[in-house]
Amino acid sequence: MDVASLLARRRMTRSFDGSPVDPAWLRGACETALLAPTAGHSAGVTLSVVGHERVDEYLAVATDPTWRARSSRYPGWSRAGALVLVSSRVSAYLERYAEPDKADAGLSERDAWPVPYWHGDAAMATMALLLLIEEAGLAAGLWGAFRNVEAVRHWAGLADDELFATVFVGRPDGHDRPSASLDRPVPTRAERVRRIG
């Protein structure tokens, strides 16, 4: 399948059937996803695989009892076949951009970065992984790093990394409800492509 078809077909899935994802396949997919560009070849992005048997444990750390009781999506998330935590080690970028061939950029201190490349690199690896999952006939959903981030980092042993997102992976169960965000009026793709000059 070509990349354009994968992009057109890919959708976020938030309800899975509970079957495990082959850990060897997922590890290989993660390694392939890390072929995505990395600023200055910093190699600061890490993909941490969480097996099916630990999905509930992750959700217990990443959420709270009130959210789990109220969320209509919690049951579907909890049946994911695996997870991938996407994180980046900021120090890898600061050290790389302090090296002689990059020092002139003045980016050896965190506050000097107007656009942190570690977030861009994490996003590129995540998109590559989402496409590989789609190509394999599986489904994925993205869980942003906005809730209980420090607890998740501690649980996953990512003390030196910034958590970017969690990718839920598995086989869809057919009970996914489309996001309400899809009902929002937005500019067309054509309207968001501009030519300057």
- pLDDT score at 8: 82
Asked if residue 67 is part of any domain, the answer here is yes
- pLDDT score at 82: 98
Paired residues of 172 in beta bridges: 16
Q: What is the pLDDT of residues 100-141, one digit of tens each?
A: 999 999 999 999 999 999 999 999 999 999 999 999 999 999
- pLDDT score at 77: 95
The pTM of the full predicted model, rounded to 2 decimals, is 0.92
Query: How far are the Cα atoms of 13, 129, 130, 132 from residue 39, in angstroms, in the given order?
Result: 30, 18, 20, 22
Query: Residue 61 sits in which domain range?
Result: 3-173
Asked if residue 185 is part of any domain, the answer here is no
Asked if residue 7 is part of any domain, the answer here is yes
Q: What is the pLDDT of residues 138-194, one digit of tens each?
A: 999 999 988 899 999 999 999 889 999 999 999 999 888 877 777 888 898 898 888
- pLDDT score at 34: 98
Asked if residue 187 is part of any domain, the answer here is no
Q: What is the pLDDT of residues 48-96, one digit of tens each?
A: 999 999 999 999 999 999 999 999 999 999 999 999 999 999 999 999 9
- pLDDT score at 192: 87
Asked if residue 181 is part of any domain, the answer here is no
Q: What is the pLDDT of residues 5-61, one digit of tens each?
A: 878 878 889 999 999 999 999 999 999 999 999 999 999 999 999 999 999 999 999
Residue entry with tokens 């002139």: 104
Asked if residue 178 is part of any domain, the answer here is no
Asked if residue 111 is part of any domain, the answer here is yes
Q: Which tokens sit at 68?
A: 């789990």
Asked if residue 92 is part of any domain, the answer here is yes
- pLDDT score at 156: 96
178 in helix, strand or coil? Answer: coil
Question: Are 89 and 44 contacting, i.e. CB atoms less than 8 angstroms apart?
Answer: yes
Query: How far are the Cα atoms of 26, 101, 192, 194 from residue 197, in angstroms, in the given order?
Result: 44, 33, 16, 10
Hey, which bits of 137-190 come out as E strands? 139-144, 162-170
CATH of the domain at 167: 3.40.109.10
Question: Long-range contact list for 25-30, CB < 8 A, 24+ apart?
Answer: 25/136, 26/82, 26/84, 26/169, 29/129, 29/132, 29/133, 29/136, 30/84, 30/129
- Phi and psi at 104, nearest 5°, equal -65, -20
Single out the residue of 78, 72, 28, 79 nearest to residue 49, CA to CA.
28
What is the number of domains present in the chain?
Answer: 1
Is the pLDDT score of 1 beyond 80?
Answer: no
